[in-house]
Structure 1
Amino acid sequence: MKLLFKLFSILFLTAVIIIGFMLWYQYNTFLKTPLTVTPEHATFEIKPGSNIRQVSNQLEAKNIIPYGLLFFAHARLQGKAGQIKAGEYQLETGMKPDDLLKKFIAGQVIQYQMSIIEGKRFTDIVADIRKDPTIETTLSDADLQAIMSKLGAAAGMQPEGWFFPDTYHFPRKTTDLEFLQRSHKAMQDYLDKAWEGRVLNPTITTPYQALILASIVEKETGLPEERPLVARVFLNRLEKGMMLQTDPTVIYGIGDKYDGNIRKVDLQTDTPYNTYTRFGLPPTPIATPSKAAIDAVMHPVASNALYFVATTPGGASQFSETLDQHNQAVRQYILNRKKATEQKP
C-alpha cells in the first residue's frame, strides 16, 4: 500500500512538473511571438472603462495574439493589470505582447494633428475643426456663440483672435471644446508673456488692444520683416489721432458679402470695423494673429512713417512719412501693376 502511494505521488509530481514545464514553455513562447499585425487591425482601441480581461479577449478575437488568457496572466504577473489606459493604439510589426502591454500602460495613444493658420477668422477655425473626423463635435452653433464664457473669459468677450495659430497634436475623440480650450490658453499665455516684455506705448494700454492691432498687422502684410514697421505706422497714426484707414478691417466689416473687391462705397459705408469712417481700433480682432504679429506690436521699430503701399502686387511695401511721398508711391504702384498686366501672355 505504501509502495502504491509512493508510486502515485511520484507520478503526480511528475505530471505537475511536466504540466508546469509545458505552461512555462508556452508562456515564454507566447512572449517571444510577434503580434499578428494586418492592415485591417493595424490599430487597436481600448474603450473607456475596459478591464484587462476584456482587452485580452478582444486581442484574441481579432487574432492579434493567439491566447488572450496568457496576455491577461502576463499583465497580472507584472502587477500592471489595472494600469492600462483607454485610447487608440498603433500596432507595429515586430511588436511582442510585453511591448503592447507597456504601450497600454504608458498610454502611448495615436496622436492626430490639426493646424490653426494665422490670419484665419474664428468661423474658419470652427469649420476646420468640424471637418476633422478625429475631433468629436459637441458644441452646437448656440454653444459657439457663447464659447468665450465656456472658456472662462469676461462677459461679452468675442472669440475672434483668441486662438493661437499652431499645429496641435491630440488623440482621437478629443472634443471640439477641449481643442479650443487648449488653443485659447496658448494664446492667453503668449499674449500675457509678450505684454510683460513690451515696449511701452501710450496708445496701446491693454493686452486686448495689442491683440486687435496684431490682427490688423497680420492681415496687412505677409512679409515677416515688414511687420514691426507696419505696426509702427499704425501706432504713429493712433498717436497723431489719425484714422487707421486699413482695408482688412473694412473687409471684415463687410462680412460674408465681401466678393473680393473693395469699392468706394465700401470705404464710405460705416460699420464698427470701417477704419475709414471711425477713429481708433476696431472693437475686436479681425483674424488670428501670429506670434510674429504680436511681437511686432509689442516691439515695433523706430520710424516716423505714417503710410505704406505695396511696390508691386503682392510685393514689399514702400513706407512714407508724408502724404506727398505716399501719393507718389501709390502712383508708382499703379504703374507697376499696369506693366505687370501688360506683360502677361
Structure 2
Amino acid sequence: MQKKHWLRVFEFTLAALALLLAAAFYILRQYELLDTQKIDARNKPYKVETGMTSRTVGEELTQNQYPELVVKLWLHNHPQLQAVQKGRYRIDGTKNLAEVLSDMVQGKVIEDEYPQLTIIEGGNLAYLHAALKKLLPKQYPKLKELLEQPADFIIESLKNDQELLKAVGGAGTSLEGLLMPATYPVFHQDKPQEALVAALRATARFMAAEWPLRDKSIFVNTPYEALIVASIIERETLINDERPHVAAVFYNRLRKKMRLQTDPTVMYGISPEFQGKLTRDMLKKDTPYNTYTRAGLPPTPISMPSKSSILAALHPADTDALYFVAADISPALGHVFTGTLDDHNKAVADYRREVSEYKKTQSSSKNSEPKNPKKEDKKAEKNKAQVLSANDNKVPVNTEKQTVSALPDDQKHAGKPSSDKQQTAKGSDDGKVLKENSGELVISLDAKTEDQNSGKHAVDKQDKDLK
C-alpha cells in the first residue's frame, strides 16, 4: 500500500516537473521572439503621449501578443529602455522592440515629412504603376521590375513564413489583389519597396487570421481563391451591406456550374486600364478573365480588395440568389437580387423603366440636375452614407505631405472608373440597356433565356454595341 502511495507521489512529481519545463520552455521561446522579432511597420508615425511607459508602448507595438510575465521580465532585463520620451516616432518594420524603444529613450523624433502612397480599394496594379511613377520617378524602374517579377519579393517580404505565404497564394507571378488598401509612408527613399512590403504583409496577416474563421460552406479551396472573389466583389458594389449577397450569388453560381458572367472581369481581361463602354463584341472576346466565355474563377484577382470585401468572400449571405442587377440609376440604391431567371428579367425590366424615365428627365431639364424618378427610402439614405463615407476614407486629403494614390485623378471614385460616378446607363433605340464601364450592371443585363448546359445567359443575336 505504501509502495503504491510513493508511486503516485513520484508520478505526480514527474507530471508537475513536465508542466514546469513546458511552461519554462514556452516563456523562454516567447522571450526570444520578443527580443528578436521586428516590429511591424505602421502607416503613420507612432505617437508617445505624456504618461506612457515602455511597457505600454511595448504592449501596443507588439499588439499584446506576448504574455504579461514575458514583457515584465524582458523590461526588467533592459532597465536602460524604461524612460521613453514623448513625440512622434517612425516605425518602419526594420527594427526590433529594443531598437525602437532605444530611439524613444533618446528622443529620436520625426521632424521630416515623407511621401505617401495610397492604395485605393478597387484599384489595380496598372494604377499602382502610374502612382509609383509619379510619386517616386527615380526609384520607379526598380519598383517596376519588382512588380513585374514579384516571386522573390513575396518570399523575402514574408520571411519564408509558410503560413503567411499560404495566405497570399505563395510566391506567385502577380501582386494583383495582394496589397492591402491603405496609405503607406515611404520613409526611406533608397528603400521605396518598404511601402509595398507593409501592404503585402498587411494582407497576408489579415488572411492568415481570417481564413480559419471562414464559413466552411464557401465554394473556394484556398485563401488566394477567396482573394479573387473578394476582388470581384470590390468592383461590383460600394455598399458594405451588399457585399455578402454578391459573394453568395457568385458561390451559388459556381456550385451550379454556372458561369459568373460578371462585367468587371471582362473589362480587366481587355485591359487593366479599361475605360469606356462594354460592347457585345467585348463580351464575346475570349480571355482568361472573361467569365462569360469561361467557367470558374479568373486566374488572379482583378483589384485590391478591402477588408470588407474579403470578409464578405469568407462569410457570404445565406441566400439562394443567382442574379443581381442595379436597382436604380443611383449606386446608392444598390441592387436587386433574385433566384430565378424570370424574376431577374422582371428586375431588368424595372431597371429599364428607371433608365427610360431618367433619360426623359434629362432631356426635359438639361440645365438642371437630373432628378431621380424613384424616391429614396431610408435604406437608400443609409447606402448613400456608406458610399460617401467610403469615398471620404479612400482618398485622404493631406495638405502637408505629398500623397499619391494608386488610381489616376479621374478614377478615384472609390476604386471605380470615372464613368461610375453617376452610373448613367443608356439604351439603344430598341430599349436595350447599355453596359457602362462599371460592375453595377452585372450578370447578363439583357438576358431573356439561359443556356441550361453552361448556365450562360443567351446574348441577343443582334451584334450591336450597347450604346
TM-score by length of 1: 0.66
Tell me which amino acid in the other structure corresponds to 1:116: I
Quote how far apart the aligned CAs of 1:122 are. 1.2
Tell me which amino acid in the other structure corresponds to 2:361: Q
SS at match of 1:175: coil
**Other-structure match for 2:311:** 295
Larger deviation: 215-224 or 144-153?
Answer: 144-153
Larger deviation: 185-194 or 144-153?
Answer: 144-153
**Other-structure match for 1:108:** 110
**Other-structure match for 1:130:** 133
C-alpha spacing 1:187/1:256, structure 2 compared with 1 (3 Å): closer
Q: Is 1:224 aligned to residue 240 of structure 2?
A: yes
C-alpha spacing 1:211/1:102, structure 2 compared with 1 (3 Å): closer
Match of 1:339 among 343, 357, 368: 357
SS at match of 2:142: coil
* Unmatched runs of 5 consecutive residues or more in structure 2: 1-88, 91-102, 156-164, 367-467
SS at match of 1:305: coil
2:124–2:177 Cα contact (<8 Å) kept: yes
Q: Is 1:142 aligned to residue 160 of structure 2?
A: no
Quote how far apart the aligned CAs of 1:332 are. 1.0
Which has a greater percent of helix? Answer: 1
Match of 2:210 among 167, 182, 194: 194
**Other-structure match for 1:276:** 292
Q: Matches of residues 121-270 of structure 1 in structure 2 within 5 Å?
A: 121-132=124-135, 136-137=139-140, 139=142, 141-152=144-155, 154-171=170-187, 173=189, 175-201=191-217, 203-255=219-271, 258-270=274-286
Tell me which amino acid in the other structure corresponds to 1:192: A
Tell me which amino acid in the other structure corresponds to 1:115: T
In the alignment, the residues of structure 1 paired with residue 133 and residue 107 of structure 2 have an alpha-carbon distance, to the nearest angstrom, of: 31
Give the greater-gyration-radius structure (CA).
1
Quote how far apart the aligned CAs of 1:133 are. 5.0
**Other-structure match for 2:335:** 317
SS at match of 2:184: strand
1:121–1:286 Cα contact (<8 Å) kept: yes
Tell me the number of residue pairs that the alignment of Structure 1 and Structure 2 aligns.
247
Quote how far apart the aligned CAs of 1:198 are. 0.8
In the alignment, the residues of structure 2 paired with residue 183 and residue 102 of structure 1 have an alpha-carbon distance, to the nearest angstrom, of: 25
Superposed CA deviations along residues 84-121 of structure 1, whole A, max 9, x for unmatched, are xxx99xxxxxxxxxxxx999742424343332100001
Tell me which amino acid in the other structure corresponds to 2:176: E
Quote how far apart the aligned CAs of 1:176 are. 2.7
In the alignment, the residues of structure 2 paired with residue 188 and residue 276 of structure 1 have an alpha-carbon distance, to the nearest angstrom, of: 30
Quote how far apart the aligned CAs of 1:148 are. 3.3
Tell me which amino acid in the other structure corresponds to 2:289: Y
In the alignment, the residues of structure 2 paired with residue 261 and residue 308 of structure 1 have an alpha-carbon distance, to the nearest angstrom, of: 20
**Other-structure match for 2:345:** 327
In the alignment, the residues of structure 2 paired with residue 102 and residue 215 of structure 1 have an alpha-carbon distance, to the nearest angstrom, of: 40
In the alignment, the residues of structure 2 paired with residue 143 and residue 257 of structure 1 have an alpha-carbon distance, to the nearest angstrom, of: 20
Tell me which amino acid in the other structure corresponds to 1:304: D
Quote how far apart the aligned CAs of 1:339 are. 1.0
SS at match of 2:271: helix
In the alignment, the residues of structure 2 paired with residue 297 and residue 258 of structure 1 have an alpha-carbon distance, to the nearest angstrom, of: 25
In the alignment, the residues of structure 1 paired with residue 211 and residue 253 of structure 2 have an alpha-carbon distance, to the nearest angstrom, of: 21
Taking only the aligned residue pairs, the percentage that are identical comes to: 38
C-alpha spacing 1:303/1:140, structure 2 compared with 1 (3 Å): closer
Tell me which amino acid in the other structure corresponds to 1:120: G
In the alignment, the residues of structure 2 paired with residue 148 and residue 111 of structure 1 have an alpha-carbon distance, to the nearest angstrom, of: 31
Superposed CA deviations along residues 117-165 of structure 1, whole A, max 9, x for unmatched, are 0000112123212322599546153333112322216454311101000
2:186–2:192 Cα contact (<8 Å) kept: no
TM-score by length of 2: 0.49
2:226–2:314 Cα contact (<8 Å) kept: yes
In the alignment, the residues of structure 2 paired with residue 168 and residue 235 of structure 1 have an alpha-carbon distance, to the nearest angstrom, of: 33
Tell me which amino acid in the other structure corresponds to 2:154: L
* Unmatched runs of 5 consecutive residues or more in structure 1: 1-86, 89-100
2:252–2:321 Cα contact (<8 Å) kept: yes
CA RMSD for the aligned pairs?
2.5
Quote how far apart the aligned CAs of 1:316 are. 1.0
In the alignment, the residues of structure 2 paired with residue 128 and residue 202 of structure 1 have an alpha-carbon distance, to the nearest angstrom, of: 35
1:163–1:184 Cα contact (<8 Å) kept: yes
1:214–1:297 Cα contact (<8 Å) kept: yes
SS at match of 1:151: helix
In the alignment, the residues of structure 2 paired with residue 336 and residue 173 of structure 1 have an alpha-carbon distance, to the nearest angstrom, of: 52
Superposed CA deviations along residues 190-246 of structure 1, whole A, max 9, x for unmatched, are 111111211112521100000000000000111111001111110111111110000
In the alignment, the residues of structure 1 paired with residue 145 and residue 137 of structure 2 have an alpha-carbon distance, to the nearest angstrom, of: 22
